[in-house]
Structure formats: C-alpha cells, structure tokens
Amino acid sequence: MPIALETKGLHKSFGGISACTDVSLRVARGARHALIGPNGAGKTTLINLLTGVLAPSAGRILLEGEDITGASSHARVRRGLARTFQLNQLFADFTPLESIGLAVSERLGHGGDWWRVAGSRLSLDADIVGVLERFRLADVMHARVATLPYGKQRLLEIALAIACQPRVLLLDEPAAGVPEDERHEILAAVTSLPREVTVLIIEHDMDIVFSFAERISVLVNGSLFVEGTPDEVGRDPRVKAVYLGEEAVDA
Ligand SMILES: Nc1ncnc2c1ncn2[C@@H]1O[C@H](COP(=O)(O)OP(=O)(O)O)[C@@H](O)[C@H]1O
Ligand SMILES: [Mg+2]
C-alpha cells in the first residue's frame, strides 16, 4: 500500500515536557485514518508538526515519500498537504461564495483579485458553486459568514480546504463545538470527501470517528499507543482503560 504521509521517530519537547515522543505514523494513500487520544495526548502538537506550524526536535516527515521536515507551511500546502482552515475575523464579513471564490482563485493563480477580475466568470463560478453544493452551503452562499450556524461555519472550513484540491487533508476536530443536531452534516461532508484525497482526522466525537475511520491510531502521553481497525481499537481493553481514566478525572 503506498504511503501518503509518514512520520519517522518524531519528537517534540516544550522545555521539560515531551509532547511528542518517537512517533512513527504511516497514513496510507486514500486512507480514512483517525488520530484519537485523551486531552494532553499530543494530538494538536502532532498536527502542528505535520503542517509546519512547529518544528520537530527530532525525526522526519515524509509526504508521498519526499522529506518535508524543513518545508514551510506554505510549501507544504503547495505540495498537496492541507489542513482545515480556521475561520478568522478576515472571513467573518465574507459570504461563503466570496470565501470559496477567494480560495479557488488563489489555487488558479489569480490571487486576491477574483471579485474584480473574475467574479462573474462562468468557469470559475461553476467550480465555486460545485464546492458550495457539495458542502451544503449553496442555500447560504450569500449570507455573511459571521451569521451562519456554527455547523455551517465548520462545513465552510472543510470546503475551503477542499477548494485548494489537496492530496492529503488534515481535519482538525471538524465537529468541535458543533451542536448535536448539526453533527450529521459534518459526518455527511467528511464521508463524501473524494476518495483520491487521503484524510487524517482528529476528532473527539467517537460516533464520527467510528463511522468514518477505517484505521485508528491512539496517542497517549505523546506516544502512539495502539493502532488498528475501528473494531480492534474499540475492543482493546487498554484503550478503554485510558478513556475510562479520563472520564474519572473529568467527573
Ligand atoms: N506551546 C506549548 N508549550 C508548552 N507545553 C505545550 C505546548 N503545547 C502543548 N504543550 C503540552 O504538550 C502536551 C500535549 O498537548 P497537545 O498537543 O495540545 O495535546 P492534545 O491536543 O492531545 O490535547 C500537553 O502536556 C501540553 O500541556
Ligand atoms: Mg488538542
């Protein structure tokens, strides 16, 4: 099985704390792979290492066999590794149409001028409307992003990443903060992602993880602890113990 994304002996420490310890993870091409683990396990640190937000203390990261350990975040995106875009103030006053238009326009090399030069161009518009429809945003495409229900905002984050046509997509807690009754839309959106896009998802909602993922890696205290199919991981008493421990602490 060809490997889309791989880490070899990845380490990251913050002062005395090791947030990522000798992580060697392989994500197969076309995979629906989930990374789970209790709070503080190192999930966010690993995503930040993969996307180039953080530099590892040791180890390597390979994208389709090529070493990207020292590549900038932008260079990684250009090479096909995208993460879900975090909506920020900049986008609050945009509409979904404008946001996706900007992303598609950037990908096509038109830069930020799309609303002046290309806003009414049919080919570009068809591309944009296609993405909006796929992510159930067509009915709200003219609404200000800030006024959208939270679930729609999270859908827009995934849509923005897909508009860049990545080969590997990192989904960082796509359902975080989404009310229960909007979660099925998130699951439907990630389930309908094109199969040629390899997906690594971090998510707390175990219904989404176990419905979507075909492979699950469990991270505990910065180290890979267990990896297997949802069935194997779901039945593993060591995994249950880790999560039960967390519930006991939370309670
Ligand atoms: N910038 C940072 N500085 C110091 N410690 C950090 C930093 N980021 C994360 N950590 C520590 O690294 C560990 C892993 O954190 P994190 O990657 O956020 O875990 P998760 O996303 O799984 O909850 C935690 O002990 C956390 O306190
Ligand atoms: Mg986190």
Q: Is residue 246 part of a domain?
A: yes
Geometric angle at alpha carbon 140, from 138 and 142, rounded to 5°: 100
pLDDT at 249: 52
Q: Hey, whose CA ends up nearest to atom 5 of ligand 1?
A: 14
Q: Is residue 40 part of a domain?
A: yes
Q: Is residue 32 part of a domain?
A: yes
Q: Is residue 114 part of a domain?
A: no
Could you read off the pLDDT of 184-206 as tens digits, one per residue? 999 999 999 999 999 999 998 99
**How much distance in Å is there from the Cα of 45 to the middle of ligand 1?**
6
Is the shortest distance between the CB of 32 and ligand 1 below 6 Å?
no
Q: Hey, whose CA ends up nearest to atom 14 of ligand 1?
A: 42
Q: What crossing angle do the helices spanning 150-163 and 183-191 adopt, rounded to 10°?
A: 20
Return contacts of 133-136, CB within 8 angstroms, 24+ apart: 134/159, 134/162, 134/189, 134/192, 135/159, 135/162, 135/189, 136/185, 136/188, 136/189
How many whole angstroms separate alpha carbon 37 and alpha carbon 46?
Answer: 12
Q: Is residue 129 part of a domain?
A: no
H or E segment at 122? Answer: helix 122-134
- Tell me, what DSSP letter sits at residue 48? H
Q: Is residue 16 part of a domain?
A: yes
The CATH number of residue 15's host domain is: 3.40.50.300
Is the shortest distance between the CB of 223 and ligand 1 below 6 Å?
no
Is the shortest distance between the CB of 44 and ligand 1 below 6 Å?
yes
How many whole angstroms separate alpha carbon 201 and alpha carbon 210?
Answer: 11
Q: Which atom of ligand 1 is nearest to the CA of 54?
A: 1
Is the shortest distance between the CB of 45 and ligand 1 below 6 Å?
yes
Could you read off the pLDDT of 12-53 as tens digits, one per residue? 999 989 999 999 999 999 999 999 999 999 999 999 999 999
Could you read off the pLDDT of 142-161 as tens digits, one per residue? 999 999 998 999 999 999 98
Q: Is residue 41 part of a domain?
A: yes
The answer for residues whose C-beta is within 8 angstroms of residue 93's C-beta and 6 or more apart is 144, 145, 146
Domain boundaries, position 70? 3-87+166-250
How many domains in the chain?
Answer: 1
Could you read off the pLDDT of 211-247 as tens digits, one per residue? 999 999 999 999 999 999 999 999 999 998 988 766 6
Q: Which two tokens stand for residue 117?
A: 């030069």
Could you read off the pLDDT of 70-109 as tens digits, one per residue? 999 989 998 999 998 666 666 788 999 999 988 887 777 7
Q: Is residue 50 part of a domain?
A: yes
